[in-house]
Amino acid sequence: MKKIIIAIAILLGVFCFSKADKALASAHFTTGGSGYMLATMPPPGLFYLLYNTWYQADDFILNNGRKLPGDTKTRVFSQTHRFVWSMDVWVLSGNLMLDLVVPLTSYNFGRGLAGTADSRHFGMGDPYSHLTVTWHRPKFDALLSCAVFFPIGDFREDNLLTSPGKGYWGLQPTAGLTLYFDEAKTWTWSTVIRYEISFKQRKTGVREGDNFHMESSIGKQMGNVALALSTAGSWQVSDSKGKGSNAANEQRTRTFSLGPEVVVGIGRFGNLSLRCLFEVASRNNPEGTMATLTWTIPIFITDTKK
């Protein structure tokens, strides 16, 4: 049971806050919410995950690598509630899973990004859901998934910079792999890649360009504690379209981050994980630090094997 709980650790992390650029639409998904063994999914059962994420940056990096002058602070707090149902249903010898994610986010941007005054807002972001098939093998785990973002969050047309909801549908196919380097499965390398497709934003007509996301970690499990080094990267791979968008190639966003992570098992109460990522090589994006505290709670686990 303990091994199962530890393996769940921040597996399914998703953190959803807007990129602080002035385009009228931005991607739903921002990398960094997943870490240790992120491509290893839980066994059949029901799970609840609570994510608390703090992000702060004082610099906004332009496409030429220089800092945007003025007050460009970015402060974001996100509390995300995730419900994961791992079903005792098998597709192509893989376990079928369904989840629902509801993000609540608070924004605070400096006047250099927001305009004439600081811009603050709190509200519900767009909920989203994954349909996932996952495989568990002696030397590796794998997954294939697709997420749908539903545009029913708090969409603020009057202040798009701090709008928690994006005002458009999104689709995100995903693939992941975890490799085990010893028989006891204590040394692991895990990675997940995502391709985010955005649709036209209502009322503005802007369509965010497609984005490629990749998260990886290498970790070591030692009893009830696991230590890992996690990385996350995001690249806008096509131009945005519509009036006021970052339609030129030189305004595509990208960022890369890395940092340590610790996961601690707390028995029947699940586990706690803490990850801190430091952003580097950002372009047309803030560059700062993100810390995520995740509490994973197994409501029940069905010990069923096929």
Per DSSP, the residues of 30-62 read: BS-S--TTTTPPP-SEEEEEEEEEEEEEEEEE-
**CA-based angle 182:187:188, to the nearest 5?**
110
Q: Identify the residue whose tokens are 């692991």.
A: 188
d(Cα 154, Cα 124) in Å, to the nearest integer?
A: 5
pLDDT in tens, 223-251: 999 999 999 999 999 988 876 555 555 68
Query: Would you state the pLDDT for residue 302?
Result: 82
d(Cα 295, Cα 165) in Å, to the nearest integer?
A: 24
d(Cα 201, Cα 190) in Å, to the nearest integer?
A: 34
Task: Report the first-to-last Cα separation within the chain, whole angstroms.
Answer: 18
* 27, 16 Cβ separation under 8 angstroms: no
Q: Identify the residue whose tokens are 């739903």.
A: 28
Instruction: Indicate the class that CATH gives domain 2-299.
Output: mainly beta
3-state secondary structure of 64: coil
Q: Identify the residue whose tokens are 């376990």.
A: 95
Q: Where are the domains of the chain?
A: 2-299
Query: Would you state the pLDDT for residue 244?
Result: 59
What phi and psi values does residue 7 have, to the nearest 5 degrees? -65, -25
Model confidence band, residue 98 (pLDDT cutoffs 50, 70, 90): very high
Q: What is the pTM of this model?
A: 0.85
Instruction: Indicate if the pLDDT at residue 288 is higher than 90.
Output: yes
pLDDT in tens, 33-60: 888 999 999 889 999 999 999 999 999 9
Tell which residue, 27, 33, 120, has the closest CA to residue 73.
120
Beta-bridged to residue 288, according to DSSP, are none
How does 226-253 read in b/e, with b if 16+ C-beta sit within 10 Å?
A: bebebbbbbbbeebbebeebbbeeebbb
Tell which residue, 85, 94, 271, 294, has the closest CA to residue 175.
94
Q: Hey, what are 157's tokens?
A: 């047309």
**DSSP E strands, 92-198:** 94-109, 119-124, 128-136, 140-149, 170-180, 187-198
* 140, 179 Cβ separation under 8 angstroms: yes
Higher pLDDT, 216 or 21: 216
d(Cα 91, Cα 89) in Å, to the nearest integer?
A: 7
The whole-chain average pLDDT of the chain stands at 85
